[in-house]
Structures are given as structure tokens and as C-alpha cells.
Amino acid sequence: MKKVRHVDIQDFSFKWEDNDRAHFEESSSTLLPDLKTFGKCRIYLADKTPEFWWRFPNIEQLKLHFIEPGYEVDMPNLEELPLQSLELCFSRPISGYKSIGQASCVVFPSNLKDLSLDRLCLTEEAFSQLASLRNLESLKLRNIYFKPEGRFRQAGYSICWDASDFEFLALKYLLLQNILVTEWRSSQSSFPVLEKLIINKCTIQCDQIPSSFVDIPTLKLIKLIGCNYSLEKSAFNIKNELEEIAGCDSLQVHIQYQPDRYADADFAAECFSVWDQENNRSPLTPFDLSNISP
């Protein structure tokens, strides 16, 4: 067992029984120095300690699905692991809403090249932590709610994601799926080497891709899945401007339609419900989503 290099079990649960946890953390026999990939594991955050992660000193790829019944939880500190690929998912958005964004909680391994986050709330400070990953080449954000503070402004239910002051120097692939945002801003230096932008249905619709994407010479593909007409139009505007600047057809725009644009409306409703409770507002229901104007 010590020589195992890859553990790839689709969605299994991990829970301590009796004294198993203490034995696991104290025994040298549980050290797996050759383990490179581990996932996909459903696990409770309360069971995670530094001693647990030290069992895998050379792990490079990790996929975790966190199960957390409470609201106040801490993200695991994975800073010391030599991870190159990391996938983190919460079982429900409220857990993520309360769990991520604190400086002491958001500490990612500096060598990460591929990062996937699912059903989380990102504050401006958390997003700054992501931008500090200088080797990050692929970023996948699914079911993400940007908690408003500073540049993450919110008026009513209009949410602005302002990435203007952040630089993802190595990022080549950006996936945004079911992102709760009505406005997106970025600068010329935010994604300087981006090659592929994939937007897969924003529950609360964003009107346009930032015009600064015209200034990304490496951009090869914009793919929109289940997005609104305004977003599609902005993608073609970027394509046309790039053709005028470069004199060639270097950017492809792919449009894929989906009949059920609000398939993940429950995620939006639950996130807004939490925000409503904190601000003493009447809760929003999934049926109200279609009436929200950017």
C-alpha cells in the first residue's frame, strides 16, 4: 500500500470511526510518500488537520468534496503540499458562503497550475489570493457567488466583479459556470496570456465581456453556453475588433444554446437568501430570478 501512486475512486465518503483518526495521524505506516493523485473524496472539514495532509508529502493532484453541516467552517490549509492540480467542492453553497474569503482560510499551494472551485463564495481578498498564484494556467469557477466588499459592489441584486487590479500572469484557460454576477470588469493586464474563455450560463446575467479582452493577443477561443444575447453580441464585437487590429481571423467564437437557462436557480436563491438574512430583507425565491434586471 505504501507504494500506491494513484487513487481515483469516483465520489467515495471518508469518515473516522472510534480511534481511527488518532492512529492514522500518529502511525508511520499510514504515510504514503509515493501518492501522486487522490480523489474524488467526500469528507468532513472538521476531520482535517495538518497531520492528515502530511500523510501525502508528494501529492500533486487532489480532488475533495467537502460535507459540512454547519455554517462556520474553516478551509483546510494546503499551502505546504506540492500540489499542481486542486479541485474543491462544497456540498451546498451556504457552507461555501461562510467558509471562504478570510485571509487565514484561503491559502493555496504556490505551485498550482490547475484550480477548480465549486459552490463557494469568493471575497475580494480570496480572489487576490488566487491572483497571487503565479503558475496558475487553468482556473475553473463553478457556482460561485462573489461576496460584495470593496470592488465587489452590490446595489440591490446587481453584483459587480471587478478584476481590474488583479493579474493572472500565467492563466491560459478560464471557465465561468453559473456565476452570480451582473457586471464584469477587467483591465488589459488582468489576463495577459489567456487563450480560452468559457462561460457556461450565468444565473444572474452579465451583459458583456470586458472590452479589455480585445487587448489579449493570445486569445483563441470564446465559448458561450446558455448565455444571453448581449453577452453573445459582446463576444462577436471583440472578435471583430481583433480582426481589425491584427488583420486576421485568429479568434473563434462558439455559441451553444440551452433551453433551460435557470437550471441552477436553486444555487442563486440560496445564496441570496443568506444575503437577505444578513441585511433584513425579504427572501428571494427561485421563481423571482427571471425578474432580476442587471
Which pLDDT value is given to residue 98?
46
Taking only the tens place, the pLDDT of each residue in 185-212 is 999 899 999 999 999 986 556 788 999 9
The gap between the terminal CA atoms of the chain, to the nearest Å, is 54
CA distances from 52 to 26, 27, 78, 190 (A): 10, 11, 11, 36
158-162 sheet: strands from edge to edge: 154-155, 158-162, 183-185
Average pLDDT over residues 250-274: 67
**Per-residue pLDDT for 42 more than 90?**
no
The most confident of 47-61, 117-131, 168-182, by mean pLDDT: 168-182
Residue 83 confidence (pLDDT) above 50:
yes
Dihedral, 34, 37, 40, 43 alpha carbons, nearest 10: 50
**pLDDT digits 0-9 by tens, 127-186:** 888 999 999 999 999 988 776 554 444 445 567 888 999 999 999 999 999 887 778 899
pLDDT above 70 covers a percentage of the chain that reads 62
**How confident is residue 68, by pLDDT bands cut at 50, 70 and 90?**
low
pLDDT tens profile 212-236: 999 999 999 999 998 888 889 999 9
Q: Which residue has the higher pLDDT, 252 or 277?
A: 252
User: Quick one: pLDDT at residue 182?
Assistant: 78
